[in-house]
Amino acid sequence: MDLLFILLGFAALLVGGEFLVRGAVSVAQRMRISPLVIGLTLVGFGTSTPELLTSVQAALAGSPGIAMGNVVGSNIANILLILGVAAVLAPIAISRTGFVRDGSVLLAATVLCAVFVVMGDIGRVAGAVLLVCLVGYLIYALKTGEADDTELPTTAMATGPALLLALGGLAVTLVGAWLLVKGAVSIAAALGVSEAVIGLTVVAVGTCRIPDGSMAVS
């Protein structure tokens, strides 16, 4: 039953995340929001919603190992698994300016996370610091990223259906996160392994998904 919960959770996260991103991007395009803004916010955050909701659900459920393991494991999978598979299938052209900017921020964020982990407690103050850094990065990227602006395909979806699609996707993703955490916690207890290991492996890889080509700007 726990394995079924995990499989259903993965499926819900995949479908819900896809609907959420497509709906949100469609609404943003109808509102004539810049493709750069869409990529940095809606697409970037939307494709990370499965990881976000899963970690939040795990933290609220009293399973910090899964919450932290999911964050660290997802980043490892994003870089080593997704980037590795994509590069093997086809060479990836990147903007040197954008890479230096975003790569430096990635390195700084990783170091900051490591510092908080070594301290042994990631509380409200640490969370506030991380959020402030995120806002600062977004502001900086929006001011310096004009050359990296990539046009997204124009959608034919009306605003109403697109909004419903986004809200429905969010709801499905929430359910998926709950199912995944419930199943993962139970399996960790049954196997006698730490929740952090389950978070670093099963949960992290499961919540780490590859968006379709139309969402590649994230």
Query: Average pLDDT for residues 88-100, to the nearest whole number?
Result: 74
pLDDT reading at 181 higher than 50: yes
* Residue 43 contacts residue 151 (beta carbons within 8 Å): no
Query: Average pLDDT for residues 140-167, to the nearest whole number?
Result: 68
Percent of the chain whose pLDDT exceeds 70: 80
Structure tokens at 184: 């993962």
Query: Average pLDDT for residues 39-62, to the nearest whole number?
Result: 74
Length of the chain, in residues: 218
Rounded to 5 degrees, what are φ and ψ at 123?
A: -100, -160
Query: Average pLDDT for residues 112-134, to the nearest whole number?
Result: 87
Q: Directed axis angle between helix 96-119 and helix 64-76, to 10°? A: 150
Owning domain of residue 134: 2-215
DSSP 105: H
pLDDT reading at 42 higher than 70: no
81: number of Cβ within 10 Å? 15
Q: Is the pLDDT higher at 38 or at 191? A: 191
pLDDT reading at 146 higher than 70: no
Concatenated DSSP letters of 132-188: HHHHHHHHHHHHH-GGG--PPPPP---HHHHHHHHHHHHHHHHHHHHHHHHHHHHHH
Average pLDDT over the chain reads 76
| Gap between the Cα atoms of 46 and 40, Å rounded | 10
Encode burial over 19-54: b for 16+ CB neighbours within 10 A, e otherwise: bbbbbbbbbbbbeeeebbbbbbbbbbbbbbbbbbbb
Q: How confident is the model at residue 216 (pLDDT cuts 50, 70, 90)?
A: very low
Specify the pLDDT at position 154: 55
Q: How confident is the model at residue 132 (pLDDT cuts 50, 70, 90)?
A: very high
Specify the pLDDT at position 129: 92
pLDDT reading at 128 higher than 80: yes
Query: Average pLDDT for residues 122-139, to the nearest whole number?
Result: 88
Specify the pLDDT at position 13: 76
pLDDT reading at 30 higher than 60: yes
pTM of this structure: 0.60
Alpha-carbon Rg for the chain in angstroms: 18
Q: Directed axis angle between helix 64-76 and helix 159-191, to 10°? A: 110
Q: Directed axis angle between helix 2-30 and helix 49-60, to 10°? A: 130
* Residue 49 contacts residue 20 (beta carbons within 8 Å): yes
Query: Average pLDDT for residues 87-104, to the nearest whole number?
Result: 76
pLDDT reading at 107 higher than 80: yes
- Quote the number of domains for the chain: 1
